Amino acid sequence: MFEYAPAPESRDVVDLKSSYGLFINGEFVDGSGTPFKTVNPATEETLAEVATASSDDVDRAVQAARKAFGVWSALPGAERAKYLFRIARIIQERARELAVLESLDNGKPIRESRDVDVPLVAAHFFYYAGWADKLEYAGFGSAKPLGVAGQVIPWNFPLLMLAWKIAPALACGNTVVLKPAETTPLTALLFADICRQADLPPGVVNIVTGAGETGAAVVAHPDVNKVAFTGSTEVGRIIARTVAGTGKKLTLELGGKAANIVFDDAAVDQAVEGIVNGIFFNQGHVCCAGSRLLVQESIQEELLAALKRRLGTLRLGDPLDKNTDIGAINSAEQLAKIRRLSDLGESEGAERWSPACELPGKGFWFPPTLFTGVAQSHSVAREEIFGPVLSVLTFRTPAEAVEKANNTPYGLSAGVWTEKGSRILWMADRLRAGVVWANTFNKFDPASPFGGFKESGFGREGGRHGLEAYLEV
Ligand code: NAI
Ligand code: MG
């Protein structure tokens, strides 16, 4: 093993305030609820106090968005595009600040926030800026925007989920009230500052912070025309019930339990990299994480030996260190959930393994973990753990791989590893998943639609498809 000198990214680039308000009608204002603290999950240090939006505050935000809708939707698409391009460029200019703040508030490694999250956020705004004046060409005729979009997002990709929600909404001429997750509100508030810097007309984007109650107030507000949610299947169900029969348009992007399927002809080293990326990227806090490894029985031993060797080289620790591969678990609650499900896996008879790995004394941490000898009925094969925990199952034939991969209430993504192109197509035809990656995993591009089957939700984000959710078609 190599020893590396620490290479921490400086925090100085971030101007952290002690308290943050809500962003309504282009201004930062106080909230009337009790403020909450957001912490750095790697140290448990309080980063800032953040306002809680009451339902009255949410109402003010929706009214601001309604008023702004008149102005914004009347602008020619080419004018809206200019604002979106400007936002995209400012995101690039302030990329380092955004990446450091994202890693501080979320716990993800700076290598990921810097090289994946923030570049994808900018790419998303650039991409949808390009569509704003081409909606007719995109096949939507003279379709109208919906009005005010109420958007509720989770903590695993705070900025990226914001971009997925806000960019297409604005491109189509809608205005937005967005509620970030209560453990990761800070980059959304920095984004609010970027909206001001870009001179976005007041009220086009409003950010209301708070916990589930604030989210529920956004979703239930009678003057919201469209609801977009990413998060747990449980809350997705509650939201679907609230919205049912109201005429609000709804998209839900929920949980997953994706299979990463490795055939005996796959290139083992590449497959190992894909497996690691599939489940240990962002500590496994990824709805499309490849949390079930399905390996063809004949290569199980060889593949697992290579995988274990590779896991021994992963570096866990300070998210701001540029060498770090695995950062902190986002919250004490999420850590408790990962521990509970992992303990359950062990008591149900699966075999648990982690590489030698020292966990920091403070903060929320979980080592990269493998479960072998997993049966389909085990909880670790069925439930979304949303952490750095991989369950290994085996198969003998392609048909068995398909059956096992589809044996889940979810259907967001899948990975297939094989030399054979015809087998990839055969598998992709049969896998009930919104995205199928071949000989790669977790590849994202704003031009490519993303979304699920079954309990993973409905609607697509990204691509031309992503516009449809924000237009009356
Ligand atoms: P959650 O679904 O409770 O939170 C997501 C967002 O919804 C947050 O902004 C939250 O404040 C808001 N929210 C909560 N209750 C609401 C309600 N009744 N009405 C409107 N908005 C509401 O997810 P949580 O509790 O943080 O994580 C629980 C589990 O969900 C995780 O362990 C993971 O398995 C899964 N999850 C899946 C995500 C995905 O991307 N598919 C993202 C986050 C969590
Ligand atoms: Mg936090």
* Tens-digit pLDDT profile for residues 333-385: 999 999 999 999 999 999 999 999 999 999 999 999 999 999 999 999 999 99
Q: Are residues 395 and 422 in the same domain?
A: yes
Same structural domain for residues 429 and 459?
no
119-140 pLDDT, tens digit each: 999 999 999 999 999 999 999 9
Report pLDDT for 3: 75
pLDDT number for residue 125: 98
Above 60 in pLDDT, residue 175? yes
* Amino acid identity for residue 159 in this structure: L
Same domain as 184, residue 266: no
Asked if 378 and 427 sit in the same domain, the reply is yes
- On whether residue 14 sits in a domain, the answer given is no
* Average pLDDT of span 174-194: 98
What pLDDT score was predicted for residue 48? 98
pLDDT of residue 407: 95
* Shared domain check, 196 and 105: yes
253 as an active site residue: the answer is yes
Query: Going by CA atoms, what residue is nearest to atom 10 of ligand 1?
Result: 212
Q: Do residue 247 and residue 263 come from a single domain? A: no
Residues 429 and 462 in one domain: no
Claim to verify: residue 247 and residue 268 sit in the same structural domain: no
Residue 163 has pLDDT above 60, yes or no: yes
The answer to the question of residue 11 being in a domain is no
Helices 158-171 and 118-131: crossing angle in degrees, nearest 10, is: 10
Do residues 51 and 123 both lie within one domain?
yes
Q: Are residues 339 and 416 in the same domain?
A: yes
Would you say the CB of residue 255 lies under 6 angstroms from ligand 1? yes
Span 105-122, pLDDT tens digits = 999 999 999 999 999 999
Indicate if the pLDDT at residue 178 is higher than 60.
Answer: yes
In-domain check, residue 378: yes
pLDDT of residue 91: 98
143 with 216, same domain? yes
Domain that includes residue 48, residue range: 19-254+453-472
- Report, as an integer, the average pLDDT of 391-395: 98
- Domain assignment present for 275: yes
| Residue 1 belongs to a domain | no
- Ligand 1 atom 12: the closest Cα is on which residue? 212
pLDDT at 2: 63
Which of 113-117, 196-200, 448-452 is predicted least confidently?
Answer: 448-452
Of the ligands numbered here, which is closest to the C-alpha atom of 287?
A: 1
**Does any domain span residue 448?**
no
Give the model's pLDDT for residue 328. Answer: 98
417-446, pLDDT tens digit by residue? 999 999 999 999 999 999 999 999 999 999
- Average pLDDT over every residue of 156-181: 98
Rounded to whole angstroms, the Cα distance separating 146 from 55 reads 22
Query: What residues are neighbours of ligand 2 (ion), with CB under 5 Å?
Result: 38, 105, 183
**Residue 464 is part of a domain; what is its CATH number?**
3.40.605.10
Residue 1: pLDDT above 70?
no
The active-site residue, picked from 102, 112, 182, 253, is 253
Query: What is the average pLDDT across 201-213?
Result: 98
Regarding the beta carbon of 179 and ligand 1, being less than 6 Å apart is answered yes
Asked whether 337 lines ligand 1 (CB < 6 A), one says yes
Rounded distance from Cα 288 to ligand 2 centre (Å): 22
Question: Considering the domain boundaries, does residue 445 fall inside one?
Answer: no
What is d(CA 166, CA 176) in angstroms, rounded to the nearest whole number? 7
Ligand nearest to the CA of 105: 2
Whether 304 maps to a domain, the answer reads yes
Query: In angstroms, what is the span from residue 334 Cα to ligand 2's centroid?
Result: 12
Residue 276 sits in a domain whose CATH number is: 3.40.309.10
* pLDDT at position 458: 87
Residue 154 CA to ligand 1 centre (angstroms): 6
Q: Which of 182, 232, 450 to mutate to test the pocket of ligand 1 (most atoms within 8 A of CB)?
A: 232
Share of the chain above pLDDT 90, in %: 97
**Quick one: pLDDT band at residue 14, thresholds 50, 70, 90?**
very high
State mean pLDDT over 190-209.
98
The chain-wide mean pLDDT, for the chain, equals 97
Split into its structural domains, the chain has a count of 2
Give me ligand 2 centre to Cα 166, in Å: 21
Query: pLDDT tens digits for 283-293?
Result: 999 999 999 99
pTM above 0.85, yes or no: yes
Same domain, 245 and 303: no
Task: Please check the confidence at residue 4 and state whether its pLDDT lies above 90.
Answer: no
